[in-house]
Amino acid sequence: MPSLKEIKGRISSVRSTLKITSAMKMVASAKLHKVQFAIRNMLSYEHRLHGMLVNLMTESPKGSSNSEDLTRSREIRRVAIVALASNSSLCGSFNNSVIREATAVAREYLSSGLPADSVTVYSIGRKMADAMRKLGFPPPEDYSKLSESPNYEEASNLAQEFLDGFRSERFDRVELVYNHYESMALQPTVRQALLPLQWDEQAFVPITTKRLEVRKEKMPHAADPKDYILEPSREEIIKVLLPKIIQLRVFTTLLDSAAAEHAARTVAMQMATDNAQDLLEELTLEYNKSRQQKITNEILDLVSGSLT
């Protein structure tokens, strides 16, 4: 049985841990609200941009070079995988699940016959970079800052690199692997194609289930009968808007992954805090019992001594 001093030391240690986990939970929760606020502010822009482009693409003559260079599929000889994780741990299974999926995607392409130098993994987040480096896929650059604080300008630069690579046939396909934020309790790992642009599917990364419902209600319909006079030409507008779709999609993916990370860390720290509180109650009860037993033994010693 541990001594009172040992139990008291454990109580002090658990209390310190409790303060840390509680503070980390509040920080993660605040960061999650900040990311959610950024997502909400972006929704109107996203909906209008998507609606405009759907209308333009619907009316645009088939065979448009501006649209087809980003939407046409071709034989996959070189592929880029954009895998997002976090810079730190203490977020449950967040990192393990996305690293496992990114590893499976990379091995899938290798098993299909592609050489290792034809698979480029853009690891965003230190945890992902470390894992992919061990597998023989070092990141082209350090993208840890994008994981910590998603920035539209840097996301646009990264998206432009994918666009240039796809147009120059340095990449025949670009895929996204990340954890999608659905709720505080659910952040599933998803795999989506970024390029070529799958126009028949959702052209944007879903951030939340509620977001999809809002899009369904408010997004302008593709078959809008209005015939607008456009200046400059329809083709010129499409040429400008298509890259913006890709840039926005990369940015929303970064925000989505960040929201999932903060949600996972909030839940993990809440569970750690609850466990620490339960352990603290058990240790306090054990301390009180041991203290009571010690006092009882001392009284018995005094009584037995006086009788002798």
Asked if the peptide bond before residue 115 counts as cis, ω within 30 degrees of 0, the response is no
Give me the pLDDT at residue 216, please. 42
Q: In sequence order, what DSSP letters do the residues of 135-172 get, joined into one string?
A: TT---SS--HHHHHS--HHHHHHHHHHHHHHHHTTS-S
First to last CA, the chain: 30
When divided into structural domains, the chain yields a total of 1
Give me the pLDDT at residue 71, please. 80
Q: How far apart are CA 61 and CA 236, in angstroms?
A: 13
Burial class (CB in 10 A: 0-12, 13-18, 19+), 134: exposed
Question: Quick check: is 280 in a domain?
Answer: no
Give me the pLDDT at residue 210, please. 42
Q: Tell me the C-alpha to C-alpha distance, in Å, between residue 244 and each of 16, 47, 199, 200, 293.
A: 48, 13, 14, 18, 73
Give me the pLDDT at residue 234, please. 81
Question: Quick check: is 9 in a domain?
Answer: no
Kindly tell me the sign of the dihedral angle through the C-alpha atoms of 54, 58, 61, 67.
positive
Give me the pLDDT at residue 67, please. 55
Q: What's the average pLDDT block by block, 10 residues per block, for the chain (308 residues)?
A: 89 96 96 92 81 75 58 91 96 96 97 95 97 95 91 95 94 96 93 83 43 43 58 84 90 94 97 96 94 88 74
Give me the pLDDT at residue 230, please. 78
Q: How far apart are CA 46 and CA 277, in angstroms?
A: 44
Q: Tell me the C-alpha to C-alpha distance, in Å, between residue 72 and each of 61, 82, 194, 198.
A: 15, 20, 12, 9
Please answer whether residues 252 and 207 qualify as being in contact, where contact means their C-beta atoms are separated by less than 8 angstroms: yes
pTM for this entry: 0.85
At 83, which CATH number?
Answer: 3.40.1380.10
Q: Which conformational region is residue 169 in: left (phi greater than 0), alpha (psi within -120 to 50 degrees), or beta?
A: left
Please answer whether residues 207 and 187 qualify as being in contact, where contact means their C-beta atoms are separated by less than 8 angstroms: no
Domain extent, residue 236, equals 26-265
Question: Quick check: is 145 in a domain?
Answer: yes
Closest CA to 204 of 31, 53, 55, 98: 53
Give me the pLDDT at residue 258, please. 96
Question: Quick check: is 5 in a domain?
Answer: no
Question: Quick check: is 289 in a domain?
Answer: no
Question: Quick check: is 235 in a domain?
Answer: yes
Which residue is it, tokens 């046939």?
Answer: 169
DSSP β-bridge partners for residue 178: 190
